[in-house]
């Protein structure tokens, strides 16, 4: 019998030194946090982590 899996997505901003500097539930949320911290878009990457939620 098939089992339903709930997928969780988290978004992380990673700076030039590969440090996680922000975390959010959407791409837009992370960009807004980074803008408030004074980062320009070219100064960080956004990593998307997808995992199954354990019951």
pTM confidence score:
0.80
**What's the pLDDT tens digit per position in 12-44?**
999 999 999 999 999 999 999 999 999 999 999
Rounded to whole angstroms, the Cα distance separating 27 from 25 reads 7
Residue 4 has pLDDT above 90, yes or no: no
Residue 55 has pLDDT above 90, yes or no: no
H/E segment holding residue 24: strand 20-24
């Amino acid at each position: 019998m098939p089992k339903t899996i709930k997928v969780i997505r988290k978004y992380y901003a990673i700076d030039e030194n590969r440090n996680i500097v922000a975390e959010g539930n959407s791409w837009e949320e992370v960009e807004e946090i980074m803008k408030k911290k004074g980062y320009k878009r070219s100064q960080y990457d956004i990593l998307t982590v997808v995992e199954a939620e354990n019951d």
